[in-house]
């Protein structure tokens, strides 16, 4: 399966830890914001206005151009019914689209299988970061996980597929007494060889890459540079995934949140500048989400786990605007002190899958949910 110049590509950026949506897209004309946040409210003269009601956190200045171009969509009050305040459980829900039970299949993994059911390309999905996020996990679906694209490989000291297959077999023999040889071999046999193939292909990407954009030396910027590198190499990847952390700002939120968004905004700006300079941006959409928002009232130094959060979509095919309604901060409307979610994240996923990726989202997200028309036809 060879990627054509017009095949849609999705980049997912997880703002892990629970991003404070209220201090990201700020309801700058709502007096309750200032009442609830005597310590953490962003000074009015530092907020970047984006319309009559809302404004960006000042560190998001590099992203303002996407809003001005009509290439950024904002979703407020995003979440799911009966929110969980556990990082692990809430992230699992976002990863698997299973709020009522513990899911084992990731939504991106299901999407990869839908796009490439015969596994013609072991690089249909690529994660930049350590490990494999649950969103990409699905038995039988190969996903490459890359920490450093320029020094990437699996069993790199062993040459030849047959020799590396024997190395995997020896590894399996070590663990088979504990969990059964069949289980080990089922996993390592194909998944391991797919990883080997993916590594051999991915290591060609740096040699094909040329850019005048100077990315920052931050982890998120380097991950996005790696995604750009693989995308521009034309290896057929349709889904990229990465994470930026940690947004769990119970204390010292002002400097921590500032730095997180400084790094994130610069990285995203450089990423799209790189793609646009190389005529590689027209089929790419990036979505950003976090597992939950933060509480409306600050705790004197930070904010605790909340409910309704915020998400974004950025790309040349995005119809920019403010989608969904900002949840009320009136005391009677709060949900245990939190913004009440008013837009199901599965509708957000459904919208991007159907409108951008051209896929039926029903089986991927586990049902039919309200879509918002933020992708240009």
Q: Are residues 115 and 157 in the same domain?
A: no
Pairing of strands 321-323, 125-128: unpaired
Are 126 and 258 part of one and the same domain? yes
**Residues 193 and 229 reside in one and the same domain:** no
Does 87 map to a domain?
Answer: yes
pLDDT of residue 6: 76
pLDDT value at residue 180: 46
The residues pairing with 76 across neighbouring beta strands, listed in sequence order, are: 310
Question: In the prediction, which pLDDT does 178 show?
Answer: 45
If asked whether residues 135 and 263 sit together in one domain, one would say yes
Query: Mean pLDDT, 10 residues at a time, over the chain (377 residues)?
Result: 70 97 97 96 98 97 98 97 93 94 93 95 93 90 86 52 54 46 47 65 91 96 97 96 97 97 98 97 98 96 97 98 94 95 97 98 98 93
Which CATH number goes with the domain that contains 355?
3.40.720
Tell me if 370 is assigned to some domain: no
- Asked whether residue 377 is assigned to any structural domain, the reply reads no
Residues 270 and 345 in one domain: yes
User: Could you tell me if residue 181 is inside a domain?
Assistant: yes
263 lies in a domain? yes
- Give the Cα separation of 112 and 63 in Å (integer): 29
Question: What pLDDT is attached to residue 187?
Answer: 46
Residue 34 has a pLDDT of 95
Considering the domain architecture, whether residues 104 and 160 belong to the same structural domain is answered as no
Exposed, middle or buried by CB within 10 Å (0-12, 13-18, 19+), for 207? exposed
Which DSSP helix (H) or strand (E) runs through 175? helix 161-179
Residue 56: inside a domain? yes
**What pLDDT does residue 193 have?**
55
pLDDT at position 190 is: 52
Q: What confidence score (pLDDT) does residue 73 get? A: 98
Q: Domain count of the chain? A: 2
Residue 135 counted as domain residue:
yes
Q: In terms of domains, do 356 and 308 share one? A: yes
Nearest one of 296, 305, 313 to 10, comparing CA atoms = 313
176: containing domain: 153-202
What is the pTM (predicted TM-score) of this model?
Answer: 0.90
- Please indicate, yes or no, whether residues 59 and 163 belong to a single structural domain of this protein: no
Domain boundary among 132, 167, 202: 202
4 within some domain: no
């Amino acid at each position: 399966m060879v990627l054509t110049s017009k095949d849609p590509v999705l980049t997912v950026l997880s703002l892990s830890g629970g991003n404070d949506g209220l201090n990201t897209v700020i309801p700058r004309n709502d007096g309750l914001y200032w009442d609830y946040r005597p310590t953490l409210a962003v000074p009015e003269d530092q907020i970047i206005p984006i319309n009559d009601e809302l404004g960006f956190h000042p560190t998001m200045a590099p992203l303002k151009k996407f809003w001005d171009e009509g290439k950024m969509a904002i979703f407020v009050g995003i979440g799911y019914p009966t929110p969980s305040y556990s990082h692990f459980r809430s992230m699992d829900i976002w990863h698997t689209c299973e709020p009522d039970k513990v899911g084992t299949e990731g939504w991106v993994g299901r999407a990869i299988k839908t796009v490439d059911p015969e596994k013609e390309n072991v690089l249909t999905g690529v994660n930049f970061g350590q490990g494999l996020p649950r969103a990409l996990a699905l038995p039988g679906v190969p996903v490459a996980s890359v920490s450093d694209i320029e020094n990437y490989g699996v069993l790199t000291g062993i040459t030849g597929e047959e020799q590396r297959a024997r190395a995997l077999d020896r590894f399996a023999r070590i663990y088979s007494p504990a969990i059964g040889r069949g289980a080990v071999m089922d996993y390592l046999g194909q998944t391991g060889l797919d990883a080997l193939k993916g590594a051999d292909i991915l290591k060609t990407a740096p040699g094909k890459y040329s850019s005048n954009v100077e990315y920052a030396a931050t982890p998120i910027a380097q991950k996005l540079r790696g995604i750009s590198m693989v995308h521009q190499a034309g290896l057929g990847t349709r889904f990229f995934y990465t994470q930026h952390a940690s947004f769990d700002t119970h204390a010292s939120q002002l400097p921590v949140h500032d730095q997180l968004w400084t790094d994130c905004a610069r990285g995203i700006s450089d990423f799209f500048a790189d793609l646009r300079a190389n005529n590689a941006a027209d089929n790419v959409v990036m979505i950003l989400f976090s597992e939950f928002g933060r509480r409306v009232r600050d705790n004197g130094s930070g904010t605790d786990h909340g409910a309704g959060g915020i998400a974004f979509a950025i790309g040349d095919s995005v119809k920019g605007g403010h989608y969904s309604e900002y949840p009320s901060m009136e005391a009677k409307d709060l949900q245990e002190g939190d913004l009440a979610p008013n837009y199901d994240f599965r509708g957000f996923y459904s919208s991007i899958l159907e409108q951008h990726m051209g896929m039926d989202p029903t089986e991927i997200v586990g049902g039919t949910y309200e879509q918002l028309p933020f992708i240009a036809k």
